[in-house]
Amino acid sequence: MAFRVEFSELAAGKFRKLDKAARERIAAKLRRTAEDPAHHLSRLSSVEAYKLRVGDYRVIIDAEWGGKILYVVMLGHRSTSGR
């Protein structure tokens, strides 16, 4: 069973402001990640969260493994999103 993907208000707002091509790439990558999160996600060292790289964009995800939820906390262009 695939994980469910949810967005924070901040991430949803940033997602809506992206151009259509970037939104489609990120949505497609999130669908693939929901099928097998352990394969696609990389753990962040500074906080208990995960990152997903989608081209020039970085998506920060909080994973609830027991509840099978991927919560998109933040997303942004790699040049401006903090590491």
Q: Which CATH architecture has domain 4-77?
A: 2-Layer Sandwich (3.30)
State how far the Cα of 61 lies from the Cα of 44, in Å rounded to an integer: 10
β strands within the chain, DSSP E: 4-7, 42-43, 50-54, 57-64, 69-77
Which residue type, as a one-letter code, is found at position 53?
Answer: R
pLDDT band per the 50, 70, 90 thresholds, residue 79: confident
pTM of the model: 0.89
Query: Does the pLDDT of residue 11 top 90, yes or no?
Result: yes
Q: What is the pLDDT of residue 23?
A: 96
> How confident is the model over 15-62, as pLDDT tens digits?
999 999 999 999 999 999 999 999 999 999 888 899 999 999 999 999
Q: Using CA of residue 47, residue 18, residue 54, residue 57, what is the dihedral sign? A: negative
Mean pLDDT of 6-18: 97
Residue-range domain boundaries for the chain: 4-77
Torsion of CA 23, 42, 81, 26, to 10 degrees: 0
